[in-house]
Structure 1
């Protein structure tokens, strides 16, 4: 009895798997706070050019980050059931090839940044450095999710600089273009990243203990659920306070309220620490960011 041969996946299919193309939740987690900041900086619709730059740039840089992350973590990933079949880990894509894909995606993102202004271009180098450093933080930092939080939040000051910056380059130009409240939003967003990436880490807790990787879920220990909930509340409270200082009102607060309701739902998903519940909470987290973004857009459009 003959069996039909299964053809190997094409290079394109492997590359799409490498950048998690079928799992858009990852880039949506970066996109919503970046776009919220873009609307705040512009005091309304920022224009199609900046909307396209930051949307496409977010997708490209998240995809590039996946390439770097999979190369850095391949020795760990093969011991984790959820990640063992990633293309680099199983040998379908070589290390050099994956890094070249990541470099090409980063270069495309940089071309987009070149259409903005000097301060934003300056900030893009810092953003790239932090994104590259994150995968290696797991070996050194007890809560590497904090490093990820900075990397995932760097689109916020870049959004403000793209709207409010001029032609000058360098640190002084960045200081002039990025107001203090933009850095406050970055810090606020960092707490959201700590919340959802700790949920993600709770999924792999047993595997991470076995292979010796550092995560916020392990650092928090039995206080992980309390920690995640506290991170959510710190994020929403600080984001709401900064938004009110910028003149946002009722619709913005309605978005914050919808996001807060989702925090309660997430608590019900993670409180028993099941893999399924924690992964579902992480996977659907982008709706929390969308609620805040939608509230921001409506508030600025209807004022």
Structure 2
């Protein structure tokens, strides 16, 4: 793979490096070379699925976990593709994003729209395999997904809208098991929203000077010199709401250990965060994939032990 094909925050290597060069613009549009995105989208789905199974004393729903993994990859790709289509003019003005396929002219808008529809079709197939309640809930999720790309032009809180969209899996995961929503699902959803705002604020640190030049907004700009304190407060709220979710769903010691590990990871991020170090911000942002799977791992272990032991 040529160096020109790589974006600054890409982790492409191995498999992606062996693909034909003509495929790379689509790999980049779907962010397949940056898997942290779909991992962050998937984590709330997995945690909610396990938490609902614990609450209803059901066996682990491994089939749902696989479906959610497929759907998260497809819909993360679709959301990123849509974002690149809408932001192609802004991306061309920002150093970190001007190499994106559409902004740099590697693909045409028509080809991007076709690719977007293909990814949405995969996501639709996954959604239609769920129960009717979850199907309706899935279609409702398209609202925050659709408006998110425009929010950076309107509000200093685009990360909050991203949180609404990226955390929706907490509602879908719960409803896919129970066929309805209940208080623990909403507590977990709120937790994931605060977590998303926190980690995306860290991500936005890398773009602050470019966002000012492009005339767009973010919580990283809003918080300014208080960005570390802002992220700390968001992360504290995320852990608190997750604890309420676990307690109200009847999770036990093993699930709580997963939450402790999740909270410890977030605290470590805050201790290491400096508001003016872009490389460090990218590293800390990426580490949130592990944080999300720590919580999921605890809940999955709790689910397995609760049902089989």
TM score, norm. by length of structure 1: 0.90
- Choose the corresponding residue for 1:199, options 179, 198, 202: 202
**In structure 1, how many angstroms separate the alpha carbons of the residues matched to 2:24 and 2:222?**
37
C-alpha separation between the residues in 2 aligned to 1:136 and 1:245?
36
1:32 counterpart (22, 26, 43)? 43
Structure 2 CA distance for aligned equivalents of residues 281 and 94 of structure 1: 33
C-alpha distance in 2, partners of 1:264/1:164? 33
Pair 1:288 & 2:291 matched: yes
Query: Post-superposition shift, 1:272?
Result: 4.8
Of residues 29-38 and 261-270 in structure 1, the stretch that sits farther from structure 2 once superposed is 261-270
RMSD, aligned CA:
1.9
More divergent stretch after superposition (96-105 vs 9-18): 9-18
SS in structure 2 of the partner of residue 68 of structure 1: helix
Cα offset, 1:139, TM superposition: 0.9
Is the 1:39–1:45 contact (alpha carbons within 8 Å) kept by the matching residues of 2? no
Aligned-partner SS, 1:245: helix
Contact 2:183 2:245 (C-alpha < 8 Å) held by counterparts = no
Q: Which portions of structure 1, spanning 4 or more consecutive aligned residues, are displaced by more than 6 angstroms?
A: none
Aligned equivalent of 2:188, options 181, 185, 190: 185
Aligned position for 2:277 = 274
- 1:65-98 Cα deviation digits (max 9, x unpaired): 0100111111111122211111011011112221
Q: For the residues of structure 2 that align with 1:139 and 1:115, how far apart are their CA atoms?
A: 36
Equivalents in 2 of 1:161, 1:267: separation in Å? 33
The aligned counterpart of 1:298 is 301
SS at match of 2:141: helix
| Mapped partners of 1:252, 1:163: distance in 2 | 18
SS at match of 1:213: coil
Who is 1:51 aligned against? 65
Q: Distance in 1 between matches of 2:50 and 2:213?
A: 44
SS at match of 2:135: helix
Is this contact kept in 2: 1:269–1:278, CA < 8 A? no
Q: 1:134 aligns with which of 137, 141, 148?
A: 148
What residue ranges of structure 1 are gaps of 5+ in the alignment?
1-5, 166-176
Question: What is the CA–CA distance in structure 1 between the aligned matches of 2:49 and 2:235, rounded to whole Å?
Answer: 22
Per the alignment, residue 106 of structure 1 pairs with 120
Q: Deviations over 1:29-73 (max 9, x none)?
A: 111121010111122544343222211111100000010011111
Out of 23, 38, 49, the residue aligned to residue 12 of structure 1 is 23
Which residue in the other structure is 1:253 paired with? 256
Structure 1 partner of 2:83: 69
Q: Report the alpha carbon displacement of residue 267 of structure 1 after superposing the two structures with TM.
A: 1.9
From 142, 145, 163, give the equivalent of 1:149. 163
**CA-CA distance at 1:263 after TM superposition:** 2.0
Contact preservation (8 Å) 1:36, 1:296: yes
In structure 2, what is the equivalent of residue 159 of structure 1?
173
Q: 1:263 aligned to 263, 266, 276, which one?
A: 266
Unaligned runs of 5+ in 2: 6-19
